[in-house]
Amino acid sequence: MTDTEKTARVIFMPSGLRGTAALGTTVLGAARALGVDIDSTCGGRAICGRCQITVSEGRFGREGVTSSAAHLTPPTEAEEKYARLRGLAAGRRLACQARILGDMVIDVPPESQIHRQVVRKQAEARDIAIDPLIRPLFVEVEKPELGDPSSDFARLSRALAEEWDIEGLRASPAVLSGLQEALREGDWRVTALVYQRDETADPELIGLRPGFDERLFGLAVDVGSTTIAAHLTDLHTGEVLAAGGVMNPQIRFGEDLMSRVSYAMMNEGGAAEMTQAVRAAINDLAREVSARAGIGVHDILDVALAGNPVMHHLLLGIDPSELGQAPFALAIGEALSPRAAGLGLELAPGARAYVLPCIAGHVGADAAAVVLAEAPHEREEMTLIVDVGTNAEIILGNRERVLACSSPTGPAFEGAQISSGQRAAPGAVERVRIDRETLAARYKVIGCDLWSDEEGFEEAVKDTGVTGICGSGIIEAVAEMFLAGIIDANGRFDAGLAETNPHVRARGRGFAWVLREGEPEIAVTQDDVRAIQLAKAALYAGARLLMDELGVESVERIRLAGAFGNHIDPLYAMILGLIPDCPLEAVTSAGNAAGTGARMALASSAARREIEEAVRRIEKIETAVEPRFQEHFVAAMAFPHATAPCPNLERKVALPKGREENHPGGKRRRRRGRGK
């Protein structure tokens, strides 16, 4: 059919797109004509090296296409120069230089595709799609001439239209101010950084660099109430170039979220102060990670931001007072794509920002980032995702439905409002074991690899001291207290022990178990046990409520997100009844899922569309208006007995002799009966 004198048949792999090309067409030209996904930023000048391809040798019978590298023109001078300067693997050719001389099958390796996947190492993690909203486009611009009144911007726009099909280019004054210098410095050869929010939006020039300079840097920021974490990312590869974190300086206005909301409510201009503080911290952090990666903060072109609703509002400059009172109305939850400068962020003059959507008034953009990273909406298995902070964000679902709610766990899981509690920091007790006979503690502290009963422990902790007990430590301590019979299933101390055991003591109107003597003494009191009971009941009740809603009795996977999820031992979470029954090996840490989600949104236009759509579809459950939440909450106050669904517990934790009566196995089953 084809005129073999003048055209060749070409097939591009792995897409399988095929067609004919006039002999002499560049491979890149043929690829573009066929809609093949192949990268190039230099406009076919053998500079960027992104369009590398190989030719499959041999005869492809079914297609009738003979393929051979000999069906391409030999390397051009420019191509040889590229190979000399930057290296070109054997068999690789630059698609912009190689011209088609005969039928062939062309392989486009993954790194030459614009829309590529970055495979993450962690087995449970999904791949990150690379699909940035910013493209670096190299162009040669006509010089101005006396008698041609066109502006530099008009000539640049024309070059971008001709070489890259960019139509309707816009630019902000901040970017225009650097235009003339870049054009002249690059001798009219420049790399235009073109941002496009989505297909319907006009392309926007957000930067212009002299010469060929295709670097693309972005910053993913997770604004936590306590810590602000940033990942400086190469937008071409998704690779993290530098990461850093700082304390959220808003802490001086209030330790937890609600005290910050109160500060905003009680102080004229209080919200603005906190906005200013968080923006300044992000700017500091951006400078720090840039310096560490050896780039300038002005090289950062895009920033993706996630945070809980209060952090989200304060970052945007919105007073969060409404989030502190029913009905907890968000000012805005929809994703936003403002200029970074509009958020007070001092990055590249034209830098853009992306603020991830909030799910509901108590389930923020950080939870949305977790959803993006974990993608429950893409999975078959019924997955429960728990992100614990002052509130727990709970997400349950699979590809059919996804539900979300927030549960008021309070700050106990973070070590706050616990008598010996403290934030996770060097010196904090993070692991606890209790001798079933003596009720003495063995423990580990953050910053030291030794257990407290190992030789050299006291020497090793001399610098930090043993200063308190952090979230994971208090959970293990309470679970072990239960397993050791110090407290019963209702959380009540065994009063008799205070008379017989030196570690259990009367304290105020109740009792305390002393983990460590000295200054400070570290102990767990009756009030501490109650605080943990309230927190775990809230968490469990939230998960149960979503399970009721979905009509499921168990979940297939549990992912524990955030710092808490990273440090907590799933076994003890299950002993305490923080989470519903699930095979222990299916309970895993999701790591910094919010940070990962922010990075995904940073690097990918498709990821932004995905999370916006996912958030629209997530069914939001308000625990405060669900009567069953209260029922589940009350029922979940007691500690459960580990039963069949969790066989690991029997194996790993020996119950103390003579204390089995404290663990009524029926409790859990009774509670379950109330689910619908």
Q: Which of 133, 235, 330, 497 binds a copy of itself (CB under 8 A)?
A: 330
559, 520 contact by CB (below 8 A): no
Binding-residue total with a copy of itself (CB under 8 A): 52
Min. distance of Cβ 174 from a copy of itself in angstroms?
7
Under the binding rule (CB under 8 A), the answer on residue 327 touching a copy of itself is yes
Query: According to CB under 8 A, which residues from 615 to 644 bind a copy of itself?
Result: 620, 622, 624-625
Q: Which of 75, 102, 109, 144 binds a copy of itself (CB under 8 A)?
A: 144
Stretch that binds a copy of itself, among 42-50, 321-329, 578-586, 596-604 (CB under 8 A): 321-329
Comparison of 245 and 338: residue with beta carbon closer to a copy of itself:
338
Comparison of 85 and 332: residue with beta carbon closer to a copy of itself:
332
Comparison of 332 and 606: residue with beta carbon closer to a copy of itself:
332
Q: Which of 176, 246, 291, 440 binds a copy of itself (CB under 8 A)?
A: 176
Stretch that binds a copy of itself, among 94-102, 174-182, 540-548, 651-659 (CB under 8 A): 174-182
DSSP state of 418: S
373, 594 contact by CB (below 8 A): yes
The separation between CA 173 and the C-alpha centre of its own chain, rounded to angstroms, equals 33
Handedness of CA 549, 555, 559, 565 (dihedral sign): positive
Under the binding rule (CB under 8 A), the answer on residue 322 touching a copy of itself is yes
| Count of C-beta atoms within a 10 Å radius of residue 594 | 32
Stretch that binds a copy of itself, among 58-66, 91-99, 185-193, 338-346 (CB under 8 A): 338-346
Query: According to CB under 8 A, which residues from 339 to 358 bind a copy of itself?
Result: 341-343, 358
Q: Which of 181, 378, 454, 650 binds a copy of itself (CB under 8 A)?
A: 181
Comparison of 34 and 277: residue with beta carbon closer to a copy of itself:
277
Under the binding rule (CB under 8 A), the answer on residue 368 touching a copy of itself is no
> Which of 544, 561, 549 is CA-nearest to residue 401?
549
Helix, strand or coil, per DSSP, at residue 225:
coil
Helix axes 309-316, 270-293, angle to 10 degrees: 90
Under the binding rule (CB under 8 A), the answer on residue 277 touching a copy of itself is no
Under the binding rule (CB under 8 A), the answer on residue 319 touching a copy of itself is yes
The mark string for 299-318 relative to a copy of itself (x by CB under 8 A, - otherwise) is -----------------xxx
Comparison of 94 and 541: residue with beta carbon closer to a copy of itself:
541
d(CA 437, CA 434): 9
Min. distance of Cβ 330 from a copy of itself in angstroms?
4
Phi, psi of 522 (to 5 degrees): -115, 120
Comparison of 527 and 612: residue with beta carbon closer to a copy of itself:
612
Min. distance of Cβ 312 from a copy of itself in angstroms?
11
Min. distance of Cβ 144 from a copy of itself in angstroms?
4
Under the binding rule (CB under 8 A), the answer on residue 329 touching a copy of itself is yes
Q: How far apart are the first and last CA of the chain?
A: 66
Comparison of 16 and 149: residue with beta carbon closer to a copy of itself:
149
Which residues 6+ apart lie within 8 Å of 68 measured at CB?
Answer: 55, 57, 102, 104
d(CA 204, CA 173): 12
Stretch that binds a copy of itself, among 139-147, 383-391, 462-470, 562-570 (CB under 8 A): 139-147
Comparison of 19 and 317: residue with beta carbon closer to a copy of itself:
317
> Which of 226, 638, 235, 256 is CA-nearest to residue 410?
256
Query: According to CB under 8 A, which residues from 147 to 166 bind a copy of itself?
Result: 147-154
Stretch that binds a copy of itself, among 22-30, 57-65, 324-332, 544-552 (CB under 8 A): 324-332
d(CA 480, CA 415): 17
Under the binding rule (CB under 8 A), the answer on residue 189 touching a copy of itself is no
> Which of 423, 443, 426 is CA-nearest to residue 435?
443
Under the binding rule (CB under 8 A), the answer on residue 269 touching a copy of itself is no
141, 190 contact by CB (below 8 A): yes
- 3-state percent breakdown (helix, strand, coil) of the chain, nearest 5: 35, 25, 40
Q: Which of 332, 495, 506, 634 binds a copy of itself (CB under 8 A)?
A: 332
166-194 per-residue burial string, b: 16 or more CB within 10 A, e: under 16: beebebeeebbebbeebbeebebbbbbbb
| Count of C-beta atoms within a 10 Å radius of residue 14 | 11
> Which of 332, 328, 478, 474 is CA-nearest to residue 408?
328
Both structure tokens of 125: 């993690």
Stretch that binds a copy of itself, among 3-11, 326-334, 420-428, 662-670 (CB under 8 A): 326-334
| Count of C-beta atoms within a 10 Å radius of residue 244 | 19
Residue type, 22: A
Under the binding rule (CB under 8 A), the answer on residue 494 touching a copy of itself is no
d(CA 26, CA 38): 13
Min. distance of Cβ 325 from a copy of itself in angstroms?
11
Phi, psi of 9 (to 5 degrees): -95, 130
d(CA 474, CA 490): 17
Min. distance of Cβ 619 from a copy of itself in angstroms?
9
d(CA 63, CA 337): 46
Under the binding rule (CB under 8 A), the answer on residue 333 touching a copy of itself is yes
100, 24 contact by CB (below 8 A): yes
Residue where the block lists tokens 């007070």: 344
Comparison of 64 and 173: residue with beta carbon closer to a copy of itself:
173
Min. distance of Cβ 378 from a copy of itself in angstroms?
22
- Residues near a copy of itself, by CB under 8 A: 144-154, 171-174, 176-177, 179-181, 200-202, 316-319, 321-322, 326-334, 336, 338, 341-343, 358-361, 363, 620, 622, 624-625
